[in-house]
Amino acid sequence: MNNFLARMEEWMRSNPGPAVGLIIGLLIGLLVIVFGPVKTGIFFLCGIIGALIGRRLQ
């Protein structure tokens, strides 16, 4: 198990783009399972609106 974690960490350091995509995909899947697709969509919509407002405030 320790060897697997070391290889996974090495892969994440050498391929940051796919690693971030994998983590985001797992997070979205977990949100859909826990809250359902409608609430997850509302969370993402609120996040996008917050990001746009934050960008305008800069």
pTM for the structure as a whole:
0.62
Cβ pair 35, 43 in contact under 8 A: yes
Backbone CA torsion sign across 24, 26, 27, 28: positive
Spans of all domains in the chain: 2-57
pLDDT of residue 51: 84
pLDDT of residue 33: 92
Phi-psi map region of 15: left, alpha, beta (phi>0 left; psi -120 to 50 alpha): beta
What's the pLDDT tens digit per position in 12-36?
A: 888 888 877 888 888 888 888 999 9
- For the cut 80, the answer to whether the pLDDT of residue 45 exceeds it is yes
**Cβ-based neighbour number of residue 3 at 10 Å:** 7
Q: What is the mean pLDDT of the chain?
A: 86
Q: Would you give the DSSP letter of residue 15? A: -
